[in-house]
């Protein structure tokens, strides 16, 4: 296992956070976890959530329908709006 920051292979265990083992790189003192601990959503899920928002469905209702956080839906909508303002 390599450090994501410096690539060094020397590490030590450094506690457990949210039920996941945390490691400390001995070279650069960077704390990291091995497993990907964020939930990833597919592009089709994002598009469907954005489409529902464009149809006028509330954030919380979209979140309940797709089983996700309403915060992530709000983030996607804001990001889409920022992309459309650039052009």
The DSSP H or E segment spanning 12 is strand 11-17
pLDDT tens string for the chain (87 positions)? 889 899 999 999 999 988 889 999 999 999 998 866 567 889 999 999 999 999 999 999 999 999 999 999 999 999 998 888 765
Contact status, residue 22 vs residue 14, Cβ threshold 8 Å: yes
pTM of the model: 0.56
Give pLDDT, residue 37: 59
Q: Where along the chain do its domains lie?
A: 1-37, 43-80
Give pLDDT, residue 86: 66
Give pLDDT, residue 85: 75
Give pLDDT, residue 1: 84
């Amino acid at each position: 296992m390599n450090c994501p920051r410096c690539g060094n292979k020397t590490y030590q265990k450094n506690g457990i956070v949210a039920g996941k083992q945390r490691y400390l790189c001995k070279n650069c003192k960077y704390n990291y976890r091995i497993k990907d601990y964020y939930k990833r959503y597919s592009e089709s899920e994002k598009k469907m959530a954005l489409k529902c928002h464009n149809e006028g469905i509330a954030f919380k209702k979209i979140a309940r329908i797709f089983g996700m956080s309403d915060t992530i839906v709000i983030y996607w909508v804001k990001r889409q709006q920022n992309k459309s303002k650039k052009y």
